Amino acid sequence: MPGQVLMPGEEKIEIPITFTPREQKDYYEVIKLNFNNGLYFIDVVVQGRGIPLHLDLKDPDQVETNLGVVSVG
């Protein structure tokens, strides 16, 4: 990410952090934010877990659903 100057007096910057796990595992990253040309650092921790997607029916009886007789059209 390119450097940016924040002026005094509450100027702020919003940095989006997105997490899209590709694997089923724990993710842990430390992002080092560098201020004043390398003179000052703040660490930000980003973590999350990738889990498998299981789609199950809430009611197992609904595995077969009779839609009845429906007219064409």
Partner 1 sequence: MSGKKSEMVFEYTPDQVGDHDSRWLFKIPSEKITQEFLVVGRVNEPNVLFESGKLKFGPLLLSGKAKETVRIINQEHIPFAFNFSNSSVKGSPDYGDSLKVSPMSGLVPAYGEIPVEIQFNPKFELTYNYNLQCNIKRKARPLTLNIKGEGYQIHHTVMADEPQVRASATEACKLDLGEFFINEVKTKQVQLSNDGDFNFDFQWKRIPNKFITISPDTGTVHKGSTETITIEYAPTAENSLKNYKATLSVLSGPKYDFNFCGSARKPGVKLNQHVFDFGQCFVTSQPVPNKKTLTITNIDN
Q: For residues 66 and 63, give the distance between their C-alpha atoms in angstroms, rounded to a whole number.
A: 10
Q: Of 6, 15, 18, which is closest to residue 46 (Cα–Cα)?
A: 18
18 touches partner 1 by CB under 8 A: yes
Q: Give every CB contact of residue 12 below 8 A, 6+ residues apart in sequence.
A: 6
Q: Sketch the per residue contact string, 33 through 72, with partner 1: x for CB under 8 A, - otherwise.
A: x-xx--xx-xxxxxxxxxxxx-------------------
Least distance from C-beta 63 to partner 1, angstroms?
23
Chain residues binding partner 1 by CB under 8 A are 6-24, 27, 33, 35-36, 39-40, 42-53
